[in-house]
Amino acid sequence: MRFDRGGAWISVLVAWLIATACAWADAPDSREEGIGQFYHTAWTVREGAPGQITALAQSSDGYLWLGTQTGLYRFDGVSFERFRPRADRDFPASSVSALHATPEGLWVGFRYGFASLVTRDRTIHFDARDGLPTSTIFAFAQTRDGTVWAATFRGLARYRGHRWEMIGPEWKLPGSQARTVYVDPGGTLWVATDTTLACLPPGETSFRVASDKVARVNRILQDPAGAIWVAETDGAVRPVFAATGDAAANGPELKIPAADLLFDADGALWVPTMGDGIRRVPKVRAMAGKHIDSESADAEPFVERDGLTSDYVSAVLQDREGNIWFGSSRGLDRFRQSKLLPAEFPAGSFDFALAAGDNGGIWAGTKNRALMKLDGQTVTFEDLRVPVSAAYRDPDGVVWLGGPDGIWRIVKGKLSRFADLPSEGGYSGVQAIVRDNAGALWVSINRPGIYRLADGQWTHVETFPEFPKGSSPLSLMTDRAGRVWMGFARNQITRRNGDKVIVITATEGLDTGNVTALHEDGQTVWVGGERGLGYAVGDRIAMIQSLGEPLRGISGIVHDSHGDLWLNAASGIARISANDIARAQHEPDYRVRTDIFDSLDGMPGTPAQFRPIPSAIAGTDGRLWFATTSGVVSIDPAHVRHNATPPPVDIVSVSTEAGTWEIAGPVNLPAHTQRLRIGYTAASLTMPERVRFRYRLDGLDDRWRDAGTDREAVYTNPGPGRYTFHVLARNEDGVWNEQGATLDIRIAPAFYQTVWFALLCVVLALLVLRVIFLLRMRQMESQLRARLHERHAERERIARELHDTLLQSIQGLTMRFQAIANRVPAGTPLRTEMESALDRADEALVEARDRVKDLRTYVVDLSDLGGALEDVARDLGHDHPMAMRCTIGLDTEIMDPIVRDEIYQIAREAMQNAYSHAHADHLDIDIEAIDNFVLSIRDDGCGIDPAFLTAGGKPGHWGLRGMRERAERIGASMTIDSIPGSGTRIVLHLPLIEACPRTATRSARWWRRVRQMLVGMP
């Protein structure tokens, strides 16, 4: 890693970003700028905000902790939060003097004898009652056995067994004060007292004196070579103990009043000072024996006028992602390594036309500077002080340059003028240059057509009908087959092979808009433009689809040795892996993933879209170079810094319209929660702007939600229940923290959302339904009863009408006919026929009277069904004597009255048929109820003609048909078995619940009533 001042390193400003305001007390200002290979970010505290930052630490959950004179703060890379214990008891003091992160938690030391241990679940406070001395705590350290040591103004203390104790004389530690304490990677404890530097190797119980020639020490640190260094407030920064155990007297000495010190991953020494900013000494071990002061060129300064928040810097820390943090009297400063290395061209240069030079160097022409050559970090100027708008390196290594004043070439580092431009006027510069396999130059100038230079003669080619009218190429390329590719505005490419010209437009799949980049990668020709990226497949173009934002404004395409494709686009430098390219070429619908390097990585501005292009080249050493309108950066594809640290995820807040809720175990929210807001963060300190999140609320979400960079999830009307919130995060390089963070949330139901309320509603609904059901049944019973009464009354009315009118009239006619017959002499044939007719009339009257009698005797008490049937047999037996047996196997009073009435009618009709037509001697009636209700009527008479059974009864008679209709009405099945001369057997089957509902269960009776109510019938 390198940090070159170069005499005026503000002039190598890579970018200036206005970052979002940070929520630190009075919302400090944040500013960011790229300087050299570092990117510096400063959070400046406004007036009234916390005072000087006195200590820095990073906890295991990734947070950066800041100890200040007014309290403790933590930082997740985006916002600052003042930390207060969750319990009612606040910190015992506010002025923080020391911080130290351990696996158990964060130790916080205060002035005047207080300490606190901050864990995830609670904060424990310590004071004199716990054995802690009543003096300032300067530093903490923890040895391998878990013992925590504290350097205090009154000596060295250690914490074990949940209690502090002071180190006594038996430990042989010289001095009365402990200024600082440190544990090296080998486990040795180092203590700087007011007189000496002492050490305690692992397992020993007495200190050894390492050096008694130290001033007031602020910090002890081991360098990468194993030497122990000290930072002295009133002395120097120097090594005092070598790895071999000998004094490191031959080491360099920095006469800098240091407040702290740090060796970064590259071995460079960073020194914060109390009033003189920061000093950085690269490769400090190579300076053994040297004496370096704050003005030495070997100590690179960074002070307030260079962008530092303050010259009074008191703390330094390198986090686990490699960022270097400084705490000052007015804010916080961060230095992170930039992925893009800026080329240190002079400030104010713009519109860079680039071409690769030899040995990894590059040539750069601009509109306002002389031609420049960059070797490493050294810039030299050539004797060419005219604008250069196009640059090109041909396959032979010759560099061609073009501008309004002519064409130049560079052969083996030697610059020479090659040709003047054509004499025609009306152009402002050279747009593109390319050389074909025959050695001729093709030059696009700002006028229609294209110019060809061969054998010293210019040829203006503008007669091709395939050329867009009035246009000149924006980009040129010669492929390996010697064909010249020309990209034009408005979505057109021409490919020239000798005299043959192929035109490629939207019809052939081209959809890049203005074609501003052409590049050959092996056997593939890539096409870039304002609307995207494509590649040539024969005479067609296939477009590449990308995830996220589409690739736009591409004006430079290069590839690296791994086959990855790099694009200089409007959104920044985009990298597409070789695997994604191969997959996209085989799967047209596949969307490639792009890695973007933008202003956060040190990209200055945006690439040119017209001239000079191409804006990306590959150096001969494999480094890639990208130009924008205001600067040039490079990147080594083989050594791109990758952040492999997954960002720790934390859920920081839960709030509703009722307020903010403490996160300590499951969060219990009240009923009627309408808007749930869950705040979360990821302590990624390198590039928090690119940290992305996804979350899911089990119970509501059936899939992960992509939150992008948002750090809050909002749910509207989540409803009562138990939920689990999950959140995951990934860092700027796509490394996901798959474990994430979870939080259980319980939302209480309103009284009407509880189970007991729902059960109560069900019970009430059932009660209402029962009341409605009973009312309906009563209504139906009343209707049925009224219908029965109507039926009985109608039968009686019909019987009266028949008796009083029809029968009386027939009787009168019969008597008159008899009187007429009496006038006819007896014995005459006429008298005989008349007597016969009168006999038949008497028989009809008798039968009619019997029917009228039946109608009037229908209304009988059927509670005793057996007795009613015996009465019928008794009445019928007067005219047709027959032996009758009736066996009843149940109490007929429990039968359904309507069903019982129908059964009576069926049995009565069967008995009448038996008495009137069967000429039987015996009649047996059996009623039983076991699984079903069964009525059996059997006689030993002459039987029924099979033809009548098949036809449903004798023509003109309705007895059998009426029996079947009555059976169907009550849901019964009836069978009639009859053999002429062997009698007749009628059997009726009916479900027992229909005949005797009171014998069924309550639920069965309820369901029977429901069915009756639904169909509106018994």
Same domain, 575 and 654: no
Distance CA 363, CA 372 (A): 6
Where does a domain end: 727, 753, 779?
A: 753
pLDDT at 427 over 70: no
Report residue 375 as tokens.
């070797």
Of 160, 59, 48, which is closest to residue 108 (Cα–Cα)?
59
Instruction: Give the pLDDT band (50/70/90) at residue 583.
Output: very high
Least confident range of 351-355, 836-840, 962-966: 836-840
Distance CA 335, CA 238 (A): 23
Instruction: List the 712-716 sheet strands across, edge first.
Output: 659-661, 649-656, 675-682, 712-716
Q: Is position 432 within any domain?
A: yes
Phi first, then psi, for residue 638 (nearest 5°) are -80, -10
Where does a domain end: 697, 718, 753?
A: 753
Q: Quick one: DSSP state of residue 916?
A: I
Same domain, 472 and 617: yes
Same domain, 601 and 470: yes
Q: Is position 424 within any domain?
A: yes
Owner of token pair 């060419």:
384
Same domain, 411 and 371: yes
Q: Is position 379 within any domain?
A: yes
Q: What is the pTM of this model?
A: 0.72
Instruction: Give the pLDDT band (50/70/90) at residue 153.
Output: very high
Q: Is position 537 within any domain?
A: yes
Of 648, 621, 650, 651, which is closest to residue 637 (Cα–Cα)?
621
Same domain, 482 and 606: yes
pLDDT confidence of residue 328: 93
Burial zone of 143 (CB within 10 Å; 0-12 exposed, 13-18 middle, 19+ buried): middle
pLDDT at 424 over 80: no
Confirm if 913 and 905 have CB atoms less than 8 A apart.
Answer: no
Share of the chain above pLDDT 90, in %: 47
Instruction: Give the pLDDT band (50/70/90) at residue 34.
Output: low
Higher pLDDT, 905 or 14: 905
Same domain, 615 and 660: no
Q: What is the pLDDT of residues 106-128, one digit of tens each?
A: 999 998 889 999 998 889 999 99
**CATH number for 572:** 2.130.10.10
pLDDT confidence of residue 157: 96
Containing domain of residue 687, as a range?
Answer: 649-753
Least confident range of 592-596, 597-601, 716-720, 758-762: 597-601
pLDDT at 797 over 80: no
Alpha carbons within 13 A on the beta-carbon side of 592: 29
Domain count, the chain: 4
Q: What is the pLDDT of residues 752-788, one digit of tens each?
A: 888 898 899 999 999 999 899 888 888 887 887 787 7
Higher pLDDT, 729 or 841: 729
pLDDT confidence of residue 17: 28
Distance CA 379, CA 393 (A): 19
b/e per residue 639-667 (b: at least 16 CB within 10 A): ebbebebbbbbbbbbbbbeeeebebeeeb
pLDDT confidence of residue 4: 38
Helical pair 755-801 and 829-857, crossing angle rounded to 10 deg: 150
Where does a domain end: 75, 94, 126?
A: 126
pLDDT at 355 over 60: yes
Helix (H) or strand (E) run with residue 141 in it: strand 137-142
Of 904, 857, 854, 911, which is closest to residue 885 (Cα–Cα)?
911
Q: Is position 157 within any domain?
A: no
pLDDT at 531 over 60: yes
Same domain, 659 and 622: no
Same domain, 961 and 931: yes
- β 105-110/115-118 pair status: antiparallel
Average of per-residue pLDDT across 539-549: 91
Q: Is position 987 within any domain?
A: yes
Q: Is the peptide bond before 997 cis (omega within 30 degrees of 0)?
A: no
**CATH number for 654:** 2.60.40.10
DSSP state string for 946-1007: HHHHHHTSSTT--HHHHHHHHHHHTT-EEEEEE-TTS-EEEEEEEEHHHH-GGGS-HHHHHH
Burial zone of 124 (CB within 10 Å; 0-12 exposed, 13-18 middle, 19+ buried): middle
Average of per-residue pLDDT across 195-206: 92
pLDDT confidence of residue 1012: 57
Confirm if 704 and 695 have CB atoms less than 8 A apart.
Answer: yes
Average of per-residue pLDDT across 984-994: 88
Same domain, 887 and 744: no
Same domain, 595 and 570: yes
Same domain, 617 and 655: no
Confirm if 431 and 473 have CB atoms less than 8 A apart.
Answer: yes
Least confident range of 116-120, 514-518, 704-708, 881-885: 881-885
Same domain, 706 and 577: no
Distance CA 220, CA 446 (A): 66
Q: Is position 514 within any domain?
A: yes
pLDDT confidence of residue 28: 55
Q: Is position 797 within any domain?
A: no
